[in-house]
Amino acid sequence: MSMMSGAATLSRTWLVCALAASCAAQAPAALGQTAPIRAQADAASASASLGQCVTAAVQGERSATFVGEMTAIAGSVRMAMRIDIQERTTGEALFHTVSAPGLGVWRRSEPGVKAYKYRNRVTNLPAPASYRAAVHFRWLGARGRLVGSAERHTAACRQPAPVPAPSLPGTASTADAPPPVG
């Protein structure tokens, strides 16, 4: 009889452990949270860089080129990337995302691609300000399910305040000019 109660205790202990594990797995969903199903890609799978930073006195000639690169990870069939441009003006402590047509759009690779690279050139940058990119990466499985994600930031492209053009000797600035007669 002691053998039976030992087996019964072992069965009850196993059942309690199995129920506890099942409840723990379902608890986040019951609380309205999602369980962490996405794998985070390692540092070698994704990178973001500032490809070029062009400063100029004229706003229309200023630009920054941001580059995102990613490689396939286990279980991925397709990759996707989104480059968000962020700005920090003089006196601001943090960067904020800039919205404009064509920015912040997910770009997807063709299925089966092993390495994916996307380049985004932004022009007409106001100054003084600093610009960087927040590059978001997604790895998708066969049915479009997310199998991994990552985010990287580029170095900043600093656009200094334009230097006023020096006035030539013998020319008057508008502040020194006499009021118009009329």
E strand or H helix that includes residue 103? none
Predicted local distance difference test score (pLDDT) of residue 29: 39
Predicted TM-score (pTM) of this structure: 0.69
Bridge pairing between strands 78-89 and 157-159: unpaired
Euclidean distance between CA atoms 40 and 149, whole angstroms? 5
Token pair listed for 38: 């996405």
147 with 76: CB under 8 angstroms?
yes
Tell me the domains of the chain and their CATH numbers.
Answer: 39-159 (2.60.40)
pLDDT in tens, the chain (182 residues): 444 444 443 344 333 334 344 444 444 434 343 334 445 677 779 999 999 999 999 999 999 999 999 999 999 999 999 999 999 999 999 999 999 888 999 999 999 999 999 999 999 999 999 999 999 999 999 999 999 999 999 999 999 998 776 766 665 555 555 555 55
Q: Can you name the residues that pair with 79 across neighbouring β-strands?
A: 139
Token pair listed for 177: 């000019």
